[in-house]
Amino acid sequence: MSSPLARPTTVLLTGASSGIGAALLPRLLDRGHTVVALARRAAHLPARAGLVPVTCDLSDLPGLPALAARLAADHPGLSVLINAAAVQHARPLTDPASSPAHLIEEASLNLAAPALLIQALLPTLLAQPDGAIVNLSSGLATFPKAAGGLYSASKAGLSSFTTSLRWQLSTTPLLVSEVVLPLVDTPMTAGRGRGKISAEVAAVAILSGIDARRTMIRVGAARALPLIAALAPWLGRRILRGT
Ligand SMILES: NC(=O)c1ccc[n+]([C@@H]2O[C@H](COP(=O)([O-])OP(=O)(O)OC[C@H]3O[C@@H](n4cnc5c(N)ncnc54)[C@H](OP(=O)(O)O)[C@@H]3O)[C@@H](O)[C@H]2O)c1
């Protein structure tokens, strides 16, 4: 089968206003796709042919099925869903600035929102000859960081959910991909971490993984994780706990 992005199609991209999502957006538009771009700051995206900005708060879980139903009705040719939106509150629970709202936001936006969007959009995606669901996960799904317990858990949950979904859809033509990213230089990681790759490099790797129909798209240093997990899990825990 060919790439789900081989022909101009309609792509729903969450998190399009910043970081990796913002780096994916112009590349998708350059390839002739219509991009339905979701973010709270979607209205600030520079206007371009093919761009459909949708301002929304994806952590508003009860509103997501109706939002997705409206998007599906407006874009019946939607064939690719890329879940990039997420938030990380990188502080331990003992930090006085850590709040219940932070935990609710991480669990809602990073895990429940992609699941709700996927559930609501599945009939539309399955109606296309070669669609795709692409979920942005993290090396922290394998080895958690100390100061990001719920963020790491949300990415582990998203990874597990993506595997289940792939099994559920194994008899359909829908590609279900998990992207495992290393540290990427974006507002999410501002002021911390070393050896970060750029959002542009991450975006190019993600698109080439989709083009190759890879179910696991491991980017940069994240490619070493399966070997480290198999041979020296203590090393993986040591490297990632302080990121
Ligand atoms: N950066 C890294 O090192 C790294 C590593 C591994 C995995 N990842 C994953 O890669 C993805 C992109 O991360 P990034 O680094 O590019 O993050 P980022 O620069 O912080 O961008 C996050 C995006 O999520 C959107 N967003 C946040 N809260 C939202 C809400 N309530 N409703 C709707 N949209 C919301 C933001 O848009 P608005 O603020 O406009 O709403 C923004 O477009 C995430 O899934 C992240 O977990 C990143």
* Mean predicted lDDT score pLDDT of the chain: 97
Phi, psi of 136 (to 5 degrees): -85, 110
CB 179 within 8 A of CB 142: no
Stretch 133-148: mean pLDDT, rounded? 96
CA dist., res. 221 & res. 37, Å (int):
28
pTM passes above 0.95 = yes
Stretch 163-180: mean pLDDT, rounded? 98
Tell which residue, 139, 222, 137, 143, has the closest CA to residue 176. 137
Q: Is 184 in the pocket of ligand 1 (CB under 6 A)?
A: yes
Nearest residue (by CA) to ligand 1, atom 36, is 15
Domains in the chain (CATH in brackets) are 10-241 (3.40.50.720)
Neighbours of 130 (CB within 10 A): 18
Mutate to test the pocket of ligand 1, among 188, 197, 219 (most ligand atoms within 8 A of CB): 188
Stretch 172-184: mean pLDDT, rounded? 97
pLDDT at 209: 98
Q: Is 57 in the pocket of ligand 1 (CB under 6 A)?
A: yes
pLDDT at 205: 98
Tell me how far the alpha carbon of residue 165 lies from the centroid of ligand 1, in angstroms: 22
Instruction: Answer whether residue 193 shows pLDDT above 90.
Output: no
* DSSP notation for 101-123: HHHHHHHIIIIIHHHHHHHHHHH
Distance set, CA 140 to CA 60, 182, 225 (Å): 25, 9, 10
Number of residues that make up the chain: 243
184 catalytically annotated: no
Torsion of Cα atoms, 78 then 4 then 86 then 25, to 10°? -80
Stretch 56-85: mean pLDDT, rounded? 98
3-state secondary structure of 196: coil
Mutate to test the pocket of ligand 1, among 12, 13, 18, 106 (most ligand atoms within 8 A of CB): 18
pLDDT tens digits, 201-218: 999 999 999 999 999 999
CA dist., res. 223 & res. 219, Å (int):
6
